[in-house]
Chain A
Amino acid sequence: MTQTPVIQAQNLDLTFQTNDGPIHALKGVDLEIGKGEFVSFIGPSGCGKTTFLRVIAALEHPTGGTITVNGMTPDEARQKRAYGYVFQAAGLYPWRTIAGNIKLPLEIMGFSRAEQEERVKNVLQLVDLEGFGGKFPWQLSGGMQQRASIARALAFDADILLMDEPFGALDEIVRDHLNEQLLALWARTEKTIGFVTHSIPEAVYLSTKIVVMSPRPGRITDVIDSPLPRERPLDIRDTPEFLEVAHRVREGLRAGHAYD
């Protein structure tokens, strides 16, 4: 790769000290993520996929190894507002309208009022929620709320979008729809996306790179560069290439479980 990677982790360790003794959440994690990639992290509970995302976001701090985000430490990157983070729950403030929720990071980051309005309009369009700016969160469905939370993460135009099982709580039909929209959004914005998921089809459908992880200690067992084209209609999931990648992911997950 000629460009410097957006995210570079070398021999990353993270050990939580708990009352039941240390827990190795991450052990010897090496990974490079290039600009514009869509990287999925998949693995069973406790494999450290969310922890790794949180380390990138400087919400957790590694106990060993190095990690850089845009060539800086994660803390510096956070202070420079290098990423938008989408949590599993939409976490919209009930006392703010959808537009008000999207303005939240913009207010904190000191955008002018006119610019706030402009950006809210743009991201609402991006997540297909035009005309919903004046609604309150409880007036929207779960899927729409999650789209609003993605809009909130996109509003300040960070190059990196970190998503921690954003569609985990939604039903399959809504999820398919949102996956399709997310790909379209990624194509338009050319952001680098880190995406944590439990779902093999979701990971294969979305990603240019799939990172398979296994627990105790949390580590990477396989990194799969997807051969699928960037342009992906939903029915690509019935092609042999897709099934082959899915099969390899499944193998990787099984290998990680071999000895427990």
Chain B
Amino acid sequence: MSRALPVLTVVAAILALWYAAAVWMNATWTRDQAERAGVELSVSDILTDTMAQERPVLPAPHQVVTELWNTTARKKVTSKRSLVFHGWITLSATLLGFAIGTGAGILLAIGIVHNRAMDMSVMPWAIASQTIPILAIAPMIIVVLNSLGIQGLVPKAIISAYLSFFPVVVGMVKGLRSPDAMQLDLMRTYNASGRESFWKLRLPSSMPYLFTSLKIGIAASLVGAIVGELPTGAIRGLGARMLTGSYYGQTIQIWSALFAAAILAACLVGIVGVLQRVTLKRMGMDQ
């Protein structure tokens, strides 16, 4: 309870700010409407109206929650109006991209640690790749892959992998290099090969680093999948929900998609966190 109290206080403060902002930002439209109709509005009329507009500048929290509830629990999951349906589309791209990104990241890290030429050449490119805005490169990936006849899930997954491989590379390089000189000397006294040192020493030592990277990586994957949906004019997925919402001024829809994405990200990071705790505990490394 002592830990929940500060968290709840912050949540309450955010909600209060949000409601205040909603009243303030939506009131303009309410007054304009009233002026046109020639009606005088009391303060309570303004308050009520700003909470219940169809296309508010800033939807009130309860509107977003209601929309979330209506589009998840009260729609069939196969419906195009179901956020579960759209969430699954984005999630599948996220998971595929995360798998590709993690695999590529680990392989690159192994190369960097074991090969001097790769050490010198790959890392600068990996860093450079992350300095390019993903919004600039995403349409190109989509267009290029489309011309090769690849559409749908894979291009989004590749954009997602593009964002998620980087933290894995950085974390794994650090992790694979984490054994100290003494532990490496010990392997030398056994005349162990590089392969044996890798499997028995470097890889197990890197696990705490890997999991920290995976947490960042999976969140980045989700961002990548959503960004991948934006420039394609996709009609399915959380990104597409945000996009269509912005075309038609459906702010409630945008916000509910945003929240769905945030909840999804929290769940994914949480799952990786549980895996981390279980694995490291079993490995005796959970300090």
Residues of A whose CB lies within 8 Å of any CB of B are: 57-59, 78-79, 81, 83-85, 87-89, 91, 93-95, 104-105, 107-109, 136-138
Contact = CB atoms under 8 A, between A and B. Distances in A.
A109 B285 contact: no
A81 B285 contact: no
A136 B284 contact: yes
A137 B284 CA distance: 9
Nearest to B200: A104
Contacts of A84: 189
Contacts of B187: 108
- Most chain B CB atoms below 10 A, which of A81, A85, A89: A85
Which of A59, A81, A83, A138 is the most central at the interface, judged by chain B CB atoms within 10 Å of its CB? A59
Contacts of A85: 185-186, 189
A95 B188 contact: no
Where chain B touches its partner, the secondary structure class is helix
Contact of A94 (B185, B191, B200, B285): B285
Nearest to B197: A108
Contacts of B285: 94-95
A95 B183 CA distance: 14
A89 B182 contact: yes
B235 interface: no
Interface string B192-215: 100010001100100100000000
Nearest to A109: B190
A57 B190 CA distance: 10
A105 B190 contact: yes
Contacts of B207: 95
B15 interface: no
A81 B284 contact: no
B122 interface: no
Given A81-B191, A108-B200, A91 B186 contact: yes
A105 B191 CA distance: 9
21 contacts: A59-B185, A59-B188, A78-B188, A78-B189, A81-B190, A83-B189, A85-B185, A85-B186, A85-B189, A87-B182, A91-B183, A91-B186, A94-B283, A94-B285, A95-B207, A95-B283, A95-B284, A105-B190, A108-B190, A108-B192, A137-B284
A68 B185 CA distance: 20
Interface of B: 182-183, 185-192, 196, 200-201, 204, 207, 283-285
A39 to B, nearest CB: 18
Given A79-B191, A81-B191, A108-B190, A93 B185 contact: no
Contact of B200 (A78, A79, A107, A136): A107
Contacts of B284: 94-95, 136-138
A81 B189 CA distance: 7
Contacts of A58: 188
Q: Which 4 A-B pairs have the closest CB atoms?
A: A95-B283, A85-B189, A136-B284, A94-B284
Given A78-B191, A85-B189, A138-B284, A95 B204 contact: yes
A78 B189 CA distance: 6
Which of B191, B196, B200, B285 has the most chain A CB within a 10 Å cutoff?
B191
A138 B280 CA distance: 14
The CB with the most chain A CB atoms within 10 A, among B185, B186, B189, is that of B189
Nearest to A77: B191
A91 B182 CA distance: 8
B199 to A, nearest CB: 10
Most chain A beta-carbon neighbours within 10 Å: one of B182, B185, B186, B283: B186
Contacts of A95: 204, 207, 283-285
Contacts of B182: 87-89, 91
A89 B191 CA distance: 20
Contacts of B188: 58-59, 78
A88 B188 CA distance: 16
B200 A87 contact: no
A95 B185 CA distance: 19
B276 to A, nearest CB: 14
A57 B192 contact: no
Contacts of B204: 93, 95
Given A59-B185, A136-B284, A93 B201 contact: yes
Given A87-B186, A95-B283, A136-B284, 17 more contacts: A59-B188, A79-B191, A81-B190, A83-B189, A85-B185, A85-B186, A87-B185, A93-B204, A94-B283, A94-B284, A95-B207, A105-B190, A107-B200, A108-B187, A108-B192, A109-B190, A138-B284
A95 B182 CA distance: 17
Given A79-B191, A95-B284, A136-B284, A108 B185 contact: no
A78 B204 CA distance: 25
A22 to B, nearest CB: 21
